[in-house]
Chains A and B, each alone.
Chain A
């Protein structure tokens, strides 16, 4: 049975605290103030980055949410395995991202960091594959 989104995000932060503390701190500094509503298939999670930490919760006030990302598990792994590009996922509407451009660029930098870490961290890779 695939891992639940919220559980995955909690575990990811735990792995980063344990193995990649400096990178986690940099992510928090760069992403301060972002509140992202993440939808994966039918599951939802809110990722809130405040001054000191990243908090994962089930909901947040609508006004606080400044980024919304919606995709399916299938689309996520198609992108991660290089079968389709982000651009193709956007055009096929399998991936929807809403938010103001500056905030989205900040988000993109965070995803880049985590994806790059996943290439040297077996723990992050295996955790991600438990989502499938």
Chain B
């Protein structure tokens, strides 16, 4: 059993269902994300279990489960299932998400998550023990202020964007995963230390966000050649990349953290992603037969300040595009969930890095204009 119970952080320990008297109930959305990569089996996984719409209106609220995998040959597998609220159990008292097709159970006695699900030809049966304390958005913000020592305009804008969206946001920065995954009848045993979990929710329409880039480099805690962790987060308040702010946090082996602010980071995107990809919901393929996600072939973060210099080159290997429709008739938002290889080079303090590590990169953007198309609500 780990030292840290997830209930130590209020927002991660349960579905924070809003009060029945709360405003904007039809815009409520909340989910668990679980990401992991098994280096021996070369299997990437992104699992999402969420509740959408008014949770007290069984006709209009619903649950959603998504299973997404990329196998060693780079093939993508994605299945999504909409779940009626009458067939779904979530509560404000524990983080469980229980339906016939997919279950996320948190066991307090053993301090671990159990995930069991089967959608179409994809299935998983996994155990994820909690070994690190949960971190909430407030703690991250305080950490960043502590490391950066000042608050600039960009930080304020990004924090405003985050607070506009999320009522709660928390993560488990590292979570081991064991069990098995079944892809079209082939069962693959999983045993990895490089997993990640986050849990967030809010009451907003997809149309109000310009998107964000977030992700984690899935570092191996036992490898001395890799940092303890690398996480990044950039929030946008306008259509241009210039109208965004964020940073990269590098956890060092000595327990210290290094923070590079947007002001010290140059981001370059080149080429066009051409590997295999999936899109959900499947109806998107029917509505936009020629749609191709706007994802580059490479994304390069070049960070440097007076003391340190680090470059991270993300190469997307596989992708799942999740198209989220706005209920207000605004253009849809696309969640590009990418499995990347991240090549890290440079130095932080005395530690020199030169290593390629698997990573998860989530890039959210407006899908584009829906002029002349379908519904104008």
* Interface class of chain A by DSSP: helix
Stretch at the interface among B59-67, B151-159, B189-197, B238-246: B59-67
| Bound CA–CA A117/B374 (angstroms) | 9
Are B82 and A122 in contact (CB-based, < 8 A)? yes
The reply to whether A115 and B286 contact each other, CB–CB distance below 8 Å, is: yes
Residues of chain A within 8 A (CB-CB) of B59 are 122-123
Nearest chain A residue, comparing its CB with the CB of B82: A125
Residues A82 and B283 in contact, CB atoms below 8 Å apart: yes
Minimum C-beta distance from B253 to chain A (A): 45
Interface flags for A92-129 (1: CB within 8 Å of B; 0: not) read 00000000000000000000110111111111011001
Q: A85-B286, A123-B59, A125-B62 are in contact. Are A116 and B279 (CB under 8 A)?
A: no
Q: 0/1 per residue, A17-53, Cβ < 8 Å to B?
A: 0010011000000000000000000000000000000
CA distance A115 to B287 in the complex (A): 8
Residues A48-92 near B (CB distance < 8 A): 79-83, 85-87
B183 contacts the other chain (CB 8 A): no
B282 at the interface (CB under 8 A from A): yes
* Residue contact B377 to A23, C-beta cutoff 8 Å: yes
| A122 with B374, Cβ < 8 A, contacts A82-B282, A85-B286, A116-B287 known | no
- Docked complex Cα distance between A112 and B373 (Å): 8
B358 adjacent to chain A (CB < 8 Å): no
Q: Which residues 56-88 in B have Cβ within 8 Å of A in the complex?
A: 59-62, 82, 84
The reply to whether A82 and B279 contact each other, CB–CB distance below 8 Å, is yes
Cα distance A121–B57 in the bound complex, in angstroms? 12
Question: Which of A79, A82, A85, A123 has the most CB atoms of chain B within a 10 A radius of its CB?
Answer: A82
Contact B282 A86 (CB under 8 A): no
User: Does A115 lie within 8 Å of B283, measured CB to CB?
Assistant: yes
For the complex, is B327 an interface residue (Cβ under 8 Å from A)? yes
CB contacts (< 8 Å) of B327 on chain A: these are 120
Expressed in whole angstroms, the Cα–Cα distance for A116 and B327 within the complex equals 10
Shortest CB distance B175–A (Å): 30
Chain A residue, CB-CB nearest to B85:
A122
Select from chain B the residue with minimum beta-carbon distance to A129: B82
Assess whether A117 is in contact with B375, with CB atoms less than 8 Å apart.
yes
* Chain A residues with CB under 8 A of B62: 122, 125-126
State A19–B54 Cα separation when bound (angstroms): 14
B82 touches A113 (CB 8 A): no
Is the CB of B133 closer than 8 A to any CB of chain A? no
**Are B284 and A122 in contact, with the CB atoms below 8 A?**
no
Residues of A with C-beta under 8 A to B286: 79-80, 82, 85-86, 115
Which residues of the partner chain B approach A82 to less than 8 Å between Cβ atoms? 279-286
User: Of all chain B residues, which has the CB nearest A83?
Assistant: B282
Q: With a CB–CB cut-off of 8 A, which chain B residues contact A122?
A: 52-53, 59-62, 82, 84
How far in angstroms is the closest Cβ of chain B from A120? 5
> Is B325 engaged at the interface, CB distance under 8 Å to the other chain?
yes
Q: Verify B374–A87 contact, CB threshold 8 A.
A: no
Q: Do A119 and B283 touch (CB < 8 A)?
A: yes
**Pairwise interchain contact A120-B289, C-beta atoms closer than 8 A:** no
A124 CB to closest chain B CB, in angstroms?
Answer: 11
B285: which A residues are within 8 A, CB to CB?
82, 85
Whole-angstrom distance between the Cβ of B289 and the nearest chain A Cβ: 6
Q: How far is the CB of B292 from chain A (nearest CB, A)?
A: 14
Residues of A close to B375: CB separation below 8 A: 23, 113, 116-117
Q: Which of B61, B282, B375 has the most chain A CB atoms inside 10 A of its CB?
A: B375
B287-A126 in contact (CB<8A):
no
Expressed in whole angstroms, the minimum distance between the Cβ of A21 and any Cβ of chain B is 11
Nearest residue in B to A77 (C-beta to C-beta)? B282
Interface residues of B (CB under 8 A from A): 52-53, 59-62, 82, 84, 279-287, 289, 323, 325-327, 373-375, 377
15 contacts between A and B (CB under 8 A): A23-B375, A79-B286, A80-B286, A82-B284, A85-B285, A116-B287, A116-B374, A117-B375, A118-B283, A122-B52, A122-B59, A122-B84, A123-B59, A126-B62, A126-B82
**Given A116-B325, A125-B82, 10 additional A-B pairs, CB 8 A:** A23-B377, A81-B282, A82-B283, A86-B286, A112-B287, A118-B283, A120-B326, A122-B53, A123-B59, A126-B82
